[in-house]
Structure 1
């Protein structure tokens, strides 16, 4: 089965024909589908149906999709896959910076969208490592089993993609992880050249985990090479 029957997807798009086509294809691949045609309905549906992943168009009639991302990120880490006709790099960066996990431009291939949805759900649900594995980095306590990180004893909320990035660096503590490896392991083989993802997510992690994001002590960038989590 291409999807998993237990997985629920919230499709947010104001184009009835596209929303209907997405729903038909997703259900045919074993997904449970909930739809919303505007931002307010999307936020309500997310709160009441608790989807495993959200597919979100940015051009909604009542509010911009970026406002929906911000609204969702105020209380949930559900994976968000943006599906938009906006192809400018700054639109992608803004959506990712607000907390989206992926960005697919229209027109798109259904098989690719399915693969990205599966990857987003897998990142958010997979069990990470041995139960006793807690890595301490400065004032950070990174619990690989429970997929949690605390800073000075206070839990830090990470999105599934932020966690996957941090987990990869933690499992390679003190070693340079090439940027191609990060893209391949966190987002998938098709992303090996999407370096803007790395810039956005590294910046987000630094804002959440470092005392001074402009002078990081732990999440270090080696320009043109990759990233290191320094103990």
Structure 2
């Protein structure tokens, strides 16, 4: 893969994978980190304000991801005490309130993503911000292998056992969210908040319905699942250990 070459807003030379500092729930941060494997980035997750400030100063990220519904004050921390200029900042919100977005822009946000979002946004928007700020084009990795699943982000397809299947954008995001948090139980509340934002009530069966439809496409029997396990009274868990690799390799 060709080396990345570019300059920061203050003229600093950049020749490595752009560093992305993420302030979100752990489940969301894992989803974003997995999705960014479709590019070439180095990521760190932090929700402690003091550690976040230290990382901004010492690790010198080239891009920030902040969930402003939960970590709104981190917008100000992202640009504080820097001698090399504030890197581009991508904010996430479940709110449709224009004043919330305008406030984020006034305080340093370069772009805002609304939840629910599609995975291609998590690839395309950082690509645009990095190119604009540093004149770098981050390579695109269209296909990833998640253990026995090969996922094509561009075509919204998965390949399993030689069979090719199409996924809806929601099914693709749900699969990535579960796989990114492999081995961990995600509650319905976490799944709703991460994928659908505030569009549905917690009592809604939207999560169960989409899990059921995704299982059908994966050929996954809920009684003896290979991939998505129901944990009674708690939520859902991705059973398979996920080893992520570029499907082209």
- TM-score normalised by structure 2 residue count: 0.44
- TM-score normalised by structure 1 residue count: 0.47
* Greater gyration radius: 2
Structure having greater relative contact order (Cα 8 Å, sep ≥ 6): 2
Relative to total residues, which structure has the larger helix share, 1 or 2?
A: 1
